[in-house]
Amino acid sequence: MPKKILATLAVATLLMTGCGPDESGGSYSDVEALRDAYIEAGHECDDWEQSNQVLGAAQSGDCGMDTVLSTYLTRDAVQDRIAETKDSIFAEATGDWLTGENWIINGSNAEDLREKMGGQIVSFGNDESEE
């Protein structure tokens, strides 16, 4: 009988700790699946247009003027995109990105979105804080 109780407690613990978004942000099969997850997380994407114009991305599109979603073939490709942007003249104006295993969302409210989708926030611009 004690083994059954321990097993039940172990399963319950796993289920409770498994709640919430994946810290890595997971991966998406394509940019439309990423868009659907973005909408499911409570954000609007009424003006969706898949343009595939983001450098290094397998697919990309935007939800109007303020939000760009992109998917990549590998995690290394995501890291390359981040490094290239940090080294560019656009870094100061970029703001924060939410990134996952094979995706990037460049838009507002990265922290709120992270709470719902998981992933990591990458900040651009002046990384040095004034103290």
For the chain, what are the domain ranges? 24-123
Strand partners, 123: 96
pLDDT beyond 90 at 66: no
Q: Residue 6 has what pLDDT?
A: 38
- pLDDT above 80: residue 126: no
The token pair at 13 is: 């613990």
- Integer Rg of the chain from CA: 18
Tell me the pLDDT tens digit for each residue of 10-42.
Answer: 433 333 345 566 788 999 999 999 999 999 999
Contact 32, 50 (CB under 8 A): yes
Compute the distance between CA of residue 103 and CA of residue 121 in angstroms, rounded to an integer.
12
Helices (H), the chain: 2-17, 31-40, 75-86, 91-94, 110-117
